[in-house]
Structure 1
């Protein structure tokens, strides 16, 4: 028989003594959750409808794959920005050699996150959302960047902390490392437990809070915890395509995000966290649907324009336009390769796109110029 927990009566966990500090051990979450609060039910319904509409829209739209990479890259930029990187969305699409040396480490972190996210989404066909999948993503995330010496791909074997300069003045100290296996096992079981009846959005809201509280890695927990949300929704077929990312909502007021996580731990207020989370899901899903609608309209307009203006070059021009919807920052050399053209023809095609206001030169150079499809990129800002 499954244990039943009222969300209103939630008890977050307990503190235990370390050497000169106290750490927090959260309660297990793999239980049957229920609630009486009418507002939570209303928010759940609203968020579920918005996610359903996004999913239905994405299924009806041809070539959704064209736009997914922009969603993924934006998530990589914003989720990394929460952790302090400064890479901008257009910069994320630049070749590494074109990124300023002082910004290259940030660029590498965003690139790693993009690769980790893409790899994890691809793995969903053969691997459930699990500790193994998250460790795989973590290994890619920290490869060759600032956290490369912090056990990439492994759960921590020592104590970490959040905020402050040391364990003595930390804002929050997660559970000791010997609890991680047990707690992550409980979290994984909760995500896949078919014997309890917990709506998917409530389940992943609780799971995200629990993951951030466990903080199982030495570095990269925030990014992996936010990635977990999208992976779960796709794995459960709540989303047909990975088009929903909450990092922008969390980043809009970072202190509110952290305050709500802290409030759940310190005041046993999981209810308030879940309300905040569901508001974020609803808002993010509606924004994603709006972006998809605007992008489709833009694509139709530009295809019509290019067909009218490019004459005999229409095939190459449409090929370039299609490429720009996947990767909106290009060089003439890339255009040459994508469209299978001579360097002169590639230059001429880029000039046509410039004259029609589709591409804008951003490098300020006369050689090795970089061009951006800014009208498209702006839809994601």
Structure 2
């Protein structure tokens, strides 16, 4: 199908409201628009650069943790939470009570992403995996009563106070089995010769339109992008997350999704999506370069100034790249140090301007790897 002939679906009558029933997408797509090819080439180039850069970074898993936490913070922010990345790395009990629910939402997301990435080793990118991921996403906090891990069996809607004044009403639940089966086949259909980035652009649109859960659809839909790119080997490591781009262009994001449904214009959505991949991949590679420079600089500081504590200083530095907010107790446990040795090492890191003490207290102090956090 040429995408200029794409038909997104139609409106069907429900009880006192209309819902949108999308067309199935498990078929080939083609286009004549050269600007899509140009954007696709640019996005693929930047993804290749990101993959190359990631292969040069030692202990990459430490830095992936920060990317996942940033994605969790931003993806949840789109849904209305207000936790920042510094708060996300803090202990929940150290936060004001009114911030703890937001903290929980972010940590649910991190656990859901990590679990899904692990499951890709044994499961295809399937409805089963998506439901497993959703179960973790809504396991605690505000969403725990919204049937975690189960596709909805009632009508939902977006915007408005009721179904009758909703901005968008997804398909009625009885259509979900065939729509989700079609989407699963589209994600895994090797007989369809379509670039991976275009496939996941279409799949993301379709998932958001189906809106198969009572809650958490936006977060799962954005998470699905990274999972697909890792599953299809487009990404060597889970380092690309589009939530930051979608939040920055939030109005355009929703407008372009709406344009597909109302005007059948999937071309503009694909262009927007590819531009997002290109920009995000560039930013991710730029961040990795800064991480490498930062690490080299601080390793040099430790080697030149820490004397007999050089080895344990390097161990603490490595810890900070995966846990950028620490306490004395954290360091004692992670590095098997006494309280005195841990406090002395933290003081040395503070004097060397590697860490900043954030509480101003003499006891129960918290130390922040500030320059690293600011990269994200």
The TM-score bracket by the shorter chain reads: over 0.9
- SS of the residue corresponding to residue 347 of structure 1 reads helix
CA contact 1:358–1:373 (8 Å) conserved in 2: yes
- Please list the CA deviations of residues 321-364 of structure 1 after superposition, one character each: whole Å capped at 9, or x if unmatched: 00000110101110111111110110010001101111111223
- How far apart in 1 are the matches of 2:196 and 2:274? 11
- How far apart in 1 are the matches of 2:140 and 2:294? 38
RMSD: 0.8
Q: Which residue of 2 aligns with 1:349?
A: 345
- How far apart in 1 are the matches of 2:205 and 2:165? 23
- Please list the CA deviations of residues 136-181 of structure 1 after superposition, one character each: whole Å capped at 9, or x if unmatched: 1111111121111111000000000000011010000000001111
Aligned counterpart for 1:223 among listed residues 216, 219, 222 = 219
Q: Does 1:175 align with 2:171?
A: yes
Q: Which residue of 2 aligns with 1:238?
A: 234
Q: Which residue of 1 aligns with 2:285?
A: 289
Q: Does 1:66 align with 2:62?
A: yes
Q: Which residue of 2 aligns with 1:258?
A: 254
CA contact 1:319–1:338 (8 Å) conserved in 2: no
- Please list the CA deviations of residues 57-89 of structure 1 after superposition, one character each: whole Å capped at 9, or x if unmatched: 112322211200000000000000000000000
- How far apart in 1 are the matches of 2:37 and 2:217? 29
Gaps of 5+ in 2: none
Q: Does 1:300 align with 2:296?
A: yes
- How far apart in 1 are the matches of 2:146 and 2:359? 36
Q: Which residue of 1 aligns with 2:209?
A: 213
Gaps of 5+ in 1: none
Aligned counterpart for 1:78 among listed residues 74, 84, 104 = 74
Q: Does 1:247 align with 2:243?
A: yes
**Superposition map of 1:27-106 within 5 A:** 27-106=23-102
Aligned counterpart for 2:360 among listed residues 361, 364, 370 = 364
- How far apart in 1 are the matches of 2:74 and 2:281? 16
Q: Which residue of 2 aligns with 1:273?
A: 269
CA contact 1:155–1:217 (8 Å) conserved in 2: yes
- How far apart in 2 are the matches of 1:64 and 1:322? 11
Q: Which residue of 2 aligns with 1:17?
A: 13
- SS of the residue corresponding to residue 131 of structure 2 reads helix
- How far apart in 1 are the matches of 2:125 and 2:71? 19
- How far apart in 2 are the matches of 1:378 and 1:192? 38
Give me the TM-score of the superposition, normalised by structure 1: 0.98
Structure 1, 315-324 or 358-367: larger mean CA deviation: 358-367
1:107 Cα deviation after fit: 0.2
Q: How many residues align?
A: 376
- Please list the CA deviations of residues 81-120 of structure 1 after superposition, one character each: whole Å capped at 9, or x if unmatched: 0000000001101111111111000000000000000111
- SS of the residue corresponding to residue 14 of structure 1 reads strand
- How far apart in 1 are the matches of 2:2 and 2:229? 24
- How far apart in 2 are the matches of 1:365 and 1:241? 40
Q: Does 1:111 align with 2:110?
A: no
- SS of the residue corresponding to residue 330 of structure 2 reads helix
Aligned counterpart for 1:26 among listed residues 22, 26, 29 = 22
- How far apart in 2 are the matches of 1:184 and 1:365? 54
CA contact 1:142–1:220 (8 Å) conserved in 2: yes
Give me the TM-score of the superposition, normalised by structure 2: 0.99
- How far apart in 1 are the matches of 2:56 and 2:29? 34
Q: Which residue of 2 aligns with 1:310?
A: 306
